[in-house]
Amino acid sequence: MNQLTAEQDQVVRVLRGSQFQRERHGSLYDRGSADSYYSRVEDPHWYPQGTGRGERITNLNPEEIAEYQAGYEDNELHGDKKSWD
């Protein structure tokens, strides 16, 4: 299987829906990375209208769960965590 270039991957994410737009506040990736940052357990979800606004979507398909987990795992790898001191 051919790998997508970064530009192609970005186009695919936009066409799939706003939940796959990684820079978008409230997206699956954003929520995954935020949960990791705040040392919360994994809880796949996203907000179509932005974090904490409107409906919290939790009924996700496997691709959406994988996108949330990518955000969570990327943050875990980079060790960016909220300091509670």
Q: How many structural domains are present in the chain? A: 1
Task: For residue range 4-13, list pLDDT tens digits in order.
Answer: 687 766 666 6
Whole-prediction pTM: 0.79
Identify which of 38, 70, 66, 61 has the alpha carbon closest to the alpha carbon of residue 51: 38
How confident is residue 21, by pLDDT bands cut at 50, 70 and 90?
A: confident
Give the distance from CA 2 to its chain's centroid.
Answer: 24
Is 22 domain-assigned? yes
8 A C-beta contact, residue 13 and residue 20: yes
Domain that holds residue 37: 18-78
Task: For residue range 33-50, list pLDDT tens digits in order.
Answer: 999 999 999 999 999 999
Rounded to a whole number of angstroms, the distance between the first and last alpha carbons of the chain is 47
Is 24 domain-assigned? yes
